[in-house]
């Protein structure tokens, strides 16, 4: 063990008791080469109480205090930022529990203790229910599956996507925009999928103090909707942020079917990709023609990749309205209608459609 690690309690919790939780083992750091992600200032463990295993995230004070500083950083600013964001994630988790949000990874416990055997004894932690794995590790993109296996796979995927859309709607109902909807943040628990990692979420509710600016996209830019690359913003914060989430739901649908995000499809149709287009300095209005052309071509590619004929049209239409590059035109067509009072970003119709598609896949399975 590294000498510095030996000084910090947070690096040595295996076999310890943390406020009644037995620490079973430390989890390995995310393998970024395989697309796995995780916080830069957290260490993760499996813990157990009353025979139930859970997942514990611990604030990594060692990294806060020893990692090299970036330009314009101070050590105190690094520590302050990490502790503020960790506290915010705990507050968001408590907010979700209070409002009984079901499709978010369940917050179990959180707090702080001191292990006096160490020079740096403080352990600040959040405990969640334990997931089986993230969705990236279990969905199958193979084109070699026989038809019955394809039906089982597509049915599972549609059930998971339904769970995700429902979870996002639940977050929106309590004024939270997830901002970081990507495969590594979709967790599988039994037959259900739940949203994980609220750490980058933006909360508009007065019940929780958000440490981030609401004016910017706060998630992984690999999955960001096109408008954020051009700093194009709808005037209403709620609509702007929720439509970002909706775009990422559409992108997840694409990923579930063919293993790439909708941004990857767009990039393949744009010279140099979205980032390169934005770096030319043109405005979003000037880029619309290029984005719309790439969008329509990408939809054709996606439709061709859908393995079941009777789902091609319906699934493509869902991606079409969720991933529209112009955020003011994003949303179910009935929501966009001028005669309708439902907000464009409302997901109720999308949830119903995904449920219907999953039932169709199940019905086809029973016919075989």
Same domain, 70 and 137: no
Same domain, 31 and 172: no
Whether pLDDT at 145 is above 50: no
| pLDDT tens for each residue of 262-297 | 999 999 999 999 999 999 999 999 999 999 999 999
Residue that is last in its domain, among 129, 162, 178 = 129
Residue that is last in its domain, among 129, 145, 164 = 129
pLDDT class of 152 with cuts at 50, 70, 90: confident
Helical segments of the chain, H only: 3-7, 61-66, 75-98, 147-173, 226-229, 237-258, 262-269, 273-279, 284-305, 309-322, 333-336, 348-367
Structural domain containing residue 62? 3-129
The model carries a pTM of: 0.93
Decide which of 137 and 142 is more confident: 137
Indicate the DSSP class of residue 336: H
Q: How confident is the model at residue 251, as a pLDDT?
A: 98
Same domain, 137 and 100: no
| pLDDT tens for each residue of 13-72 | 999 999 999 999 999 986 655 555 555 689 999 999 999 999 999 999 999 999 999 999
Phi and psi angles of residue 155, each rounded to the nearest 5 degrees, phi first: -65, -45
Residue that is last in its domain, among 100, 129, 158 = 129
DSSP bridge partners of 203: 176
Residue 94 vs residues 27, 43, 57, 272: alpha-carbon distances, Å = 24, 20, 15, 43
pLDDT class of 129 with cuts at 50, 70, 90: very high
Whole-angstrom Cα Rg for the chain: 22
pLDDT class of 150 with cuts at 50, 70, 90: low
Report the residue count for the chain. Answer: 368
**Quick one: angle between helices 284-305 and 237-258, nearest 10?**
30
DSSP reduced 3-state for 188: strand
Whether pLDDT at 247 is above 90: yes
Total domains in the fold of the chain: 2
Q: How confident is the model at residue 214, as a pLDDT?
A: 95
Rounded Cα distance between 335 and 344, Å, is 5
Identify which of 95-99, 305-309, 364-368 has the greatest average pLDDT. Answer: 95-99
Same domain, 154 and 291: yes
Q: Provide, rounded to the nearest whole percent, the portion of the chain with pLDDT above 70.
A: 93
| pLDDT tens for each residue of 78-96 | 999 999 999 999 999 999 9
Same domain, 181 and 76: no
Residue 246 vs residues 166, 269, 323, 332: alpha-carbon distances, Å = 11, 22, 7, 10
CATH value at residue 193: 1.10.510.10
Q: How confident is the model at residue 147, as a pLDDT?
A: 47
Contacts 24+ apart (CB under 8 A), 41-50: 41/82, 41/85, 41/86, 42/86, 43/10, 43/11, 43/13, 45/13, 45/14, 46/130, 47/18, 47/21, 47/22, 47/23, 47/127, 48/21, 48/22, 48/24, 49/20, 49/21, 49/22
Q: How far is CA 153 from the centre of its chain?
A: 21
Query: What number is the average pLDDT over the span 189-202?
Result: 95
Same domain, 124 and 142: no
pLDDT class of 175 with cuts at 50, 70, 90: very high
Same domain, 191 and 225: yes
Same domain, 324 and 231: yes
CATH value at residue 34: 3.30.200.20
């Amino acid at each position: 063990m590294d000498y510095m690690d030996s000084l910090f309690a947070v690096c040595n919790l295996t076999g310890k008791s943390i406020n009644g939780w037995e620490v079973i083992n430390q989890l390995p750091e995310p393998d970024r080469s395989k697309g796995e992600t995780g916080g830069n200032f957290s260490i993760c463990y499996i813990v157990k109480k009353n025979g139930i295993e859970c997942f514990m995230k611990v604030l990594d004070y060692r990294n806060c205090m020893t990692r090299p500083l970036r330009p314009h950083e101070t050590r105190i600013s690094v520590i302050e930022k990490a502790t503020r964001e960790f506290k915010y994630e705990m507050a968001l988790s408590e907010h979700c529990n209070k409002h009984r949000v079901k499709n978010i990874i369940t917050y179990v416990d959180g707090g702080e203790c001191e292990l006096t055997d160490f020079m740096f004894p403080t352990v600040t932690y959040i405990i969640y229910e334990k997931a089986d794995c993230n969705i990236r590790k279990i969905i199958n993109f193979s084109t070699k599956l026989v038809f019955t296996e394809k039906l089982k796979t597509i049915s599972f995927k549609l059930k998971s996507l339904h769970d995700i859309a429902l979870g996002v709607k639940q977050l929106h109902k309590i004024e939270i925009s997830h901002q970081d909807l990507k495969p590594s943040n979709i967790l599988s628990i039994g037959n259900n999928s739940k949203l994980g990692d609220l750490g980058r979420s933006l909360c508009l509710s007065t019940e929780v103090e958000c440490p981030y600016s609401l004016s910017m996209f706060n998630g992984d830019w690999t999955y960001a909707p096109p408008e954020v690359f051009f700093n194009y913003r709808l005037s209403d914060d709620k609509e702007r942020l929720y439509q970002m989430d909706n775009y990422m739901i559409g992108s997840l649908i694409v990923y579930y079917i063919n293993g790439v995000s909708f941004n990857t499809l767009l990039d393949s149709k744009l010279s140099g990709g979205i980032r390169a287009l934005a770096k030319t300095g043109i405005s979003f209005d000037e880029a619309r023609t290029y984005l719309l052309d790439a969008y329509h071509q990408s939809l054709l590619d996606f439709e061709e990749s859908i393995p079941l004929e009777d789902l091609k049209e319906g699934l493509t239409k869902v991606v079409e309205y969720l991933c529209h590059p112009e955020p003011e035109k994003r949303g179910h067509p009935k929501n966009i209608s001028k005669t309708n009072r439902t907000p464009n970003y409302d997901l109720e119709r999308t949830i119903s459609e995904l449920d219907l598609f999953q039932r169709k896949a199940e019905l086809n399975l029973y016919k075989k």
